[in-house]
């Protein structure tokens, strides 16, 4: 089940942005390998989720990707298949599942575009912000699929927004850099997706393709400019 769900989500992202040229499912790693890579990553890796992680490494001008999902997460998605409905029982597992695919895909696309500083903070924040935006849009598709009208209600959007942007606990992260990363990207993604909600389907796809090509600083400025334009004149 999870492998098929994985490929479906990768294909959806590639249809929106661009093909990465590899099956990202081949990048899945075991718990043992996750432990090895976590130790190599240093102390900051201890702050990351135990449910799912994406590892990136460059060598000889090549990008190496490792994607880890805990057995518990996979069991939750198998028990509560999101293709049969999204609910409180599977929403957090689905978010983690989608975000790691998104991290791997956008890291690969950026590397192909010539970006090599994959361990700088702006690169990490760029991936995190993009993942939150893209995951919100994917979850909207999942929810809409099970609505007879294929439309999303305000209650649906509030529920998704809560779980994506408001339910995490910043104090759970002792590293101030990581804590700041999650706080800032959650706030920016919440603002940007509100703007996206007001666009029609065609215009939304155009907008997120332009957004995807921006670096983190440009993404941040773009979102803040959109918010400023919505403020009423004094």
Q: In which band, very low, low, confident or very high, does the pLDDT at 163 lie, cut at 50, 70 and 90?
A: very high
Q: Are 100 and 29 in contact (CB under 8 A)?
A: no
Query: Nearest to residue 18, comparing CAs of 99, 105, 102, 133?
Result: 105
Q: What is the dihedral of CA 103, 64, 49, 211, to 10 degrees?
A: -20
Residue 17 lies in a domain: yes
SS3 content of the chain, % helix, strand, coil (to 5): 70, 5, 25
Domain range spanning residue 113?
A: 2-226
Q: In which band, very low, low, confident or very high, does the pLDDT at 231 lie, cut at 50, 70 and 90?
A: low
Residues 6+ apart with CB under 8 A from 184: 125
pLDDT at 1: 44
Residue 28 lies in a domain: yes
Quote the mean pLDDT of the chain.
90
Residue 231 lies in a domain: no
Q: How many domains is the chain partitioned into structurally? A: 1
Residue 233 lies in a domain: no
Rg of the chain taking only CA atoms, in angstroms:
17
DSSP 28: B
pTM summary value: 0.92
pLDDT at 95: 96
Q: In which band, very low, low, confident or very high, does the pLDDT at 124 lie, cut at 50, 70 and 90?
A: very high
pLDDT at 131: 97
Tokens of 223: 């979102």
* Dist. CA 199–CA 193, nearest whole Å: 10
pLDDT digits (tens, 9 = 90+) for 187-221: 999 999 999 999 998 999 999 999 999 999 999 99
pLDDT digits (tens, 9 = 90+) for 21-68: 999 999 999 999 999 998 888 776 777 788 999 999 999 899 999 999
Residue 89 lies in a domain: yes
Residue 170 lies in a domain: yes
Residue 170 predicted with pLDDT over 50: yes
Tokens of 70: 């805990």
- Bridging pattern class, strands 52-59 and 62-69: antiparallel
**Among 73-77, 141-145, 230-234, which stretch is predicted with the lowest mean pLDDT?**
230-234
pLDDT at 146: 75
Task: Tell me the three state secondary structure of residue 142.
Answer: helix
DSSP 232: P
pLDDT at 148: 61
Residue 234 lies in a domain: no
């Amino acid at each position: 089940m999870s492998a098929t769900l994985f490929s479906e989500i990768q294909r959806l992202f590639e249809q929106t942005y661009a093909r990465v040229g590899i099956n990202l499912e081949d990048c899945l790693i075991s718990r043992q390998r996750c432990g090895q890579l976590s130790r190599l990553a240093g102390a900051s890796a201890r702050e990351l989720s135990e449910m799912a992680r994406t590892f990136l490494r460059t060598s000889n001008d090549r990008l190496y990707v490792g994607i880890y999902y805990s057995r518990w997460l996979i069991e939750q998605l198998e028990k509560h298949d999101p293709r049969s409905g999204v609910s409180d029982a599977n929403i957090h597992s689905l978010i983690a599942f989608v975000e790691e695919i998104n991290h791997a895909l956008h890291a690969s696309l950026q590397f192909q575009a010539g970006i090599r500083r994959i361990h700088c903070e702006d690169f990490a924040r760029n991936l995190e912000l993009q993942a939150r935006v893209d995951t919100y849009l994917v979850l909207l598709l999942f929810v809409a699929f099970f609505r007879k009208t294929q439309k999303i209600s305000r209650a649906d959007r509030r529920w998704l927004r809560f779980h994506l942007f408001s339910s995490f606990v910043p104090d759970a992260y002792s590293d101030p850099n990581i804590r700041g990363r999650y706080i800032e990207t959650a706030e920016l993604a919440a603002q940007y997706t509100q703007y996206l909600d007001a666009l029609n389907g065609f215009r939304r796809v155009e907008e997120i393709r332009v957004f995807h090509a921006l670096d983190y600083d440009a993404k941040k400025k773009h979102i803040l400019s959109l918010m400023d334009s919505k403020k009423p004149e004094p």
